Amino acid sequence: MKNIKNLLVPIDFTEESVAGLKAANQFATKFKSQVHVVHFLPYHPVVTPVYPGDASMIVNSAVQEQQMEREKSHVLKKIKTEMDLYLSEGLRGRIYIVSDTLNSGMNDLLDDIEIDLIISGTSRDNNLLEKFSGNNTEKMIRKSGIPVLAISNYADINLNNVLIATDLSTELPGRLYDMCRLLENHGATIHFVNVDTTQLLNEADTLPKMTALVKSIGLRNYRIHIVSNKAEVNGILNIVDQIHPGLILMKTYQKSNFWTFFEGSLAEKVIKETDVPVLVEQV
């Protein structure tokens, strides 16, 4: 990932999706990207009983198409208004209105367009990303390999300090390594955090492994933090409180649904306990 050229923001005209647009504007400004916007518009027409071959069948179909076009036109105006409000003029990309549910429609859309990062607003109680559950999305994530940035509470994002959590049990996704290098090139200090939940190891046991990991990525501006804490999330949050990162990078696992970090996993707990944006990619 030499750069982040194309961002995709799903919007549903809520405060959460506005937060996603604002964050996308900031990322696009920094990385000279284009921000593309998608809205999913499942069509559920009112079915009127007709007899086969009856002329009313043709009329009914035409009316439904007209209703759909009017609704699309209305949605398009709303999208343009939000883009004018929250996206700088030179950063505005394409608008996609998909006549499908998010779960299945996102798969088809990502087959047709090239996206480097999905940015989506979320709240701690009810979030747009919850709609990304189910087998369809799991297949989409595995196929696309696109990282997703969750914005829980938008504020100006300062990327001077970036935290990346690793348990050293598996390799981090390659795009997270690429993201580290990209952010370092833009002036960020990358903070690698490892939490020893057994509380049996000491820094001398883990530091050589952490150092080898960082050297394999080729970073120069980094810090290593090794924390002993029974709860991994608490160890990560302790470092968050110390260094005040503008971004947290995390991984999730292919063996489970991509969005399981919204179902009791480590990343869900981190998101619920901090307003720092969290970027997640699948191992």
Q: Between residues 85 and 172, which one has the greater pLDDT?
A: 85
- Looking at the chain, the domain(s) classified CATH 3.40.50.620 span 6-45+71-151, 161-282
Among residues 249, 147, 152, 143, the alpha carbon closest in space to that of 191 is found at 249
**H-run or E-run covering 229:** none
Q: Match domain 6-45+71-151 to its CATH number in 3.40.50.10800, 3.40.50.300, 2.20.25.10, 3.40.50.620.
A: 3.40.50.620
Render the burial of 108-146: b for 16+ CB within 10 Å, e for the rest. ebbeeeebbbbbbbbbeeebbbebbbeebbbebbeebeb
Q: Between residues 104 and 78, which one has the greater pLDDT?
A: 78
Q: Specify the CATH number of the domain 161-282.
A: 3.40.50.620
**Whole-number Å distance between alpha carbons of 163 and 239:** 9
3-class DSSP assignment, residue 51 = coil
Helix%, strand%, coil% for the chain, nearest 5:
45, 20, 35
**Whole-number Å distance between alpha carbons of 260 and 89:** 36
CB burial of residue 179 (10 Å; 0-12, 13-18, 19+):
buried
Backbone angles phi, psi at 153, to 5 degrees: -160, 100
**Whole-number Å distance between alpha carbons of 202 and 227:** 9
State residue 138's pLDDT score. Answer: 38
pLDDT single digits (tens) 231-268: 889 999 999 999 999 999 988 765 444 444 444 567 77
Residues 6 or more apart whose Cβ sits within 8 Å of residue 135: 257
**Whole-number Å distance between alpha carbons of 138 and 140:** 5
pLDDT single digits (tens) 194-240: 998 887 777 777 888 889 888 888 899 999 999 988 888 999 999 99
Sheet of 161-165: strand order equals 92-98, 34-40, 6-10, 117-121, 148-151, 278-282, 247-252, 161-165, 189-196, 222-228
Q: Quick one: DSSP state of residue 268?
A: H
pLDDT at residue 130 greater than cutoff 60: no
Region 178-190: what's the mean pLDDT? Answer: 93
Region 102-126: what's the mean pLDDT? Answer: 79
pLDDT single digits (tens) 32-77: 999 999 998 876 555 545 555 555 555 566 777 788 888 889 999 9
Tell me the HSE value of 225 on the side-chain side, using a 13 A CA sphere. Answer: 23
Q: Quick one: DSSP state of residue 50?
A: -
Within the chain, where are the H helices? 15-31, 55-86, 102-112, 135-144, 174-185, 203-217, 232-243, 266-273
State residue 22's pLDDT score. Answer: 94
**Whole-number Å distance between alpha carbons of 26 and 119:** 11
